[in-house]
Amino acid sequence: MAHPERAGFQRPYGLAWLLQLVAELDEWDDEQARHWRDWLRPAEEIAIERLHDWIPLLHYPIRDGEHSQTAFAFGLIHDYAQGMNDERTLALLADAAERFYRADRNCPLSYEPSGHDFLSPCLAEADFMRRVLEPEDFATWLDDFLPHIGEENWLPVAVVTDREDGKLAHIDGLNLSRAWMLNGMAQGLPDEDVRRDALLAAATAHAESGLEGVTDEFYAGSHWLASFATYLASGRGIR
């Protein structure tokens, strides 16, 4: 991982999950967890420096629905940095939010999903922005970014056609990640915001569908969907 020719290794998805693991271990009051936490410090330090080298050079966000997407990774990294009181990384992400996302309008949610998505470009962006904006500012930004929340059929649950296919099974992951992003968006709005009910209802529908894929029947999804289900059920991203 430290080799200079591997600067792009697992960037940003794997680095973000690594930092999320570090944050979990840091909070766990357990002797073995403390040992694991110490063992991961060298990798943690490399991950942080790689991100600080890369993000300022990134001229455009990455808006796909798979591993390279920036908004989802930024959300995980933000939660890590907040838990660690890492002001340097929080400032880096605040700058990225301003450069990449603050001026976005009318995200084309109707174009989603792509056939192999396990992350929503539109919802992941909103879920990241609610982390860096105050509730009133987030509500105003969301007015322009996703103006159709709550309208009829505004976000249908994505359809999984074949859970034995490793790529098509991604859609179960999409439904799970949509669920936690919708919950996060609702949590980021002021309590009186009328969109909260629509967001939470959509989250419930997506969670119910996505959890159907969390089974040992099909290895294509079972080897990774449990991590998404755990992240959703724990409410990790909206504490």
pLDDT on residue 130: 98
DSSP string, 3-71: SGGGTTTTTTHHHHHHHHHHHHHHH---HHHHHHHHHTHHHHHHHHHHHHHHGGG--S----SSTT-HH
pLDDT on residue 20: 97
Reading the chain (239 residues) residue by residue, the pLDDT tens digits are 888 888 899 999 999 999 999 999 999 999 999 999 999 999 999 999 999 999 999 999 999 999 999 999 999 999 999 999 999 999 999 999 999 999 999 999 999 999 999 999 999 999 999 999 999 999 999 999 999 999 999 999 999 999 999 999 999 999 999 999 999 999 999 999 999 999 999 999 999 999 999 998 988 998 999 999 999 999 999 87
Backbone angles phi, psi at 69, to 5 degrees: -55, 135
- The number of residues making up the chain comes to 239
pLDDT on residue 3: 86
pLDDT on residue 4: 83
Q: How far apart are the first and last CA of the chain?
A: 31
pLDDT on residue 2: 81
Residue 166 belongs to what H/E stretch? none
pLDDT on residue 1: 83
* pTM for this entry: 0.97
Nearest to 133 by CA among 88, 189, 87: 189
Q: What share of the chain is helix, strand, coil (3-state, %, to 5)?
A: 65, 0, 35
Contacts with 51 (C-beta within 8 Å, 6 or more apart), sequence order: 11, 12, 15, 77, 89, 92
